[in-house]
């Protein structure tokens, strides 16, 4: 039972260093709750209403004031029935296909963008409310307070409460990955809100695996005769389509071995179709498109390029025709965000 002393009355603090999640496997047990891990901007919203005036500030994870960047979110936050509050959450945006997209979020936040109203704030914690510091309360109690604050918001609102996923940690994580989500965040229900990375929250990330043709490489900068990144592509008819680069997943020794192995198949020009942008061509040494690499990646940009890619191994048992386009991020169950994005474009 929550003791009355757990809710401490004090003046609203300034920016609070956020609670951060450790990377790990999804935990299980009744003391844990699980939520979707979204690919957006972590923010902290501060609301103060006094003498008929409402002041709302939205800070990034690093404490930078981005209130103006987030367009009408401040006005939506000001409609909440609180006199003061600090909310912790994530700002998201969807692309034209209704998929949660970090690229779409970046585009929405550009100066002059007409899509700023398409962003949504998903709130998952409350640190302060109406003169009471809630950080020492267990998460279960804070979640109840948050549900009360957001009880008047409807499905059309830009402010939404994070959805709690029911089930065992590994089952919830597997389902999230099947849906094409970034992963899950598991949180201890009995813990207070502690700034920093303490293990009270655990993030588990999904990753996709794909086969790609090595079309070239960029020499390493830290050591001679090494690769810094591999240039990737995939076949589409008679063409080889650019899929991006991968520059992690190998040690310096492995980078040297890869460089050595590619020297015998170097060629003067690239085999990729279409004209690459200058940054994509810069310092590239081209090779014959005969080597296949297995690569892990988290997501795909709007341009079809890999995000957060990591080299796994070469697949000598595969031919270039076995390579496929990167899998698109397909998100199910996000109709609410999709509808909001469509309405904002009308």
Beta bridge partners of 282: none
Residue by residue, DSSP assigns 98-145 as S-B-HHHHHHHTSTT-TTGGG-EEEEEEEEEETTEE-TTS-HHHHHHH
Among 68, 179, 181, 117, CA closest to 340: 117
DSSP per-residue codes, 281-332 = HTTPEEEEEEEEEEEEESEE-TTS-EES-EEEEE-TT--GGG--PPPP----
Which of these is catalytic: 12, 37, 115, 187? Answer: 37
Alpha carbon distances (Å) from 72 to 56, 121, 162:
11, 11, 20
Asked about 8 being catalytic, the answer comes back as: no
Residues in the chain: 346
Residues known to be catalytic? 37
């Amino acid at each position: 039972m929550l003791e009355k002393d757990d809710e401490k009355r004090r003046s609203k603090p300034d920016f609070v260093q956020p609670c951060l999640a450790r990377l790990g496997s999804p935990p299980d047990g009744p003391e844990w709750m699980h939520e979707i891990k979204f690919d957006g901007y972590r923010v902290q919203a501060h609301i103060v209403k006094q003498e008929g005036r409402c002041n709302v500030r939205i800070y990034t994870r690093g404490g930078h004031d981005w209130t103006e960047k987030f367009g009408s979110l401040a006005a939506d936050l000001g409609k909440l029935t609180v006199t003061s509050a600090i909310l912790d959450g994530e700002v998201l945006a969807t692309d034209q296909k209704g998929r949660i997209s970090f690229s779409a979020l970046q585009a929405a936040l550009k100066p002059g963008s007409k899509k700023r109203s398409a962003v949504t704030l998903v709130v998952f914690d409350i640190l302060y409310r109406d003169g009471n510091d809630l950080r020492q309360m267990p998460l279960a109690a804070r979640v109840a307070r948050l549900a009360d604050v957001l009880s008047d918001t409807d499905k059309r609102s830009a402010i939404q409460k994070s959805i709690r996923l029911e089930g065992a940690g590994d089952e919830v994580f597997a389902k999230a990955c099947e849906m094409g989500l970034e992963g899950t965040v598991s949180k201890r229900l009995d813990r207070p809100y502690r700034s920093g990375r303490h293990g009270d929250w655990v993030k588990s990330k999904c990753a996709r695996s794909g086969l790609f043709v090595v079309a070239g490489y960029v020499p390493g900068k830290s050591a001679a005769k090494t690769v810094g990144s591999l240039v990737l592509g995939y076949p589409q008819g008679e063409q080889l389509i650019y899929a991006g680069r991968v520059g992690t997943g190998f040690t310096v020794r492995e980078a040297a071995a890869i460089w050595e192995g590619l020297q015998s198949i170097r060629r003067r020009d690239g085999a990729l179709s279409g004209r690459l942008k200058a940054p994509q061509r810069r310092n590239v040494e081209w090779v014959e498109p005969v080597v296949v690499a297995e690569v892990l990646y988290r997501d795909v940009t709007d341009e079809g390029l890999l995000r957060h890619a990591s080299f796994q191994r070469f697949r000598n048992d595969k031919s270039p025709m076995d390579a496929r386009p990167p899998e698109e991020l397909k998100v199910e169950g996000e109709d609410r965000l999709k509808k909001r994005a469509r309405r904002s474009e009308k």
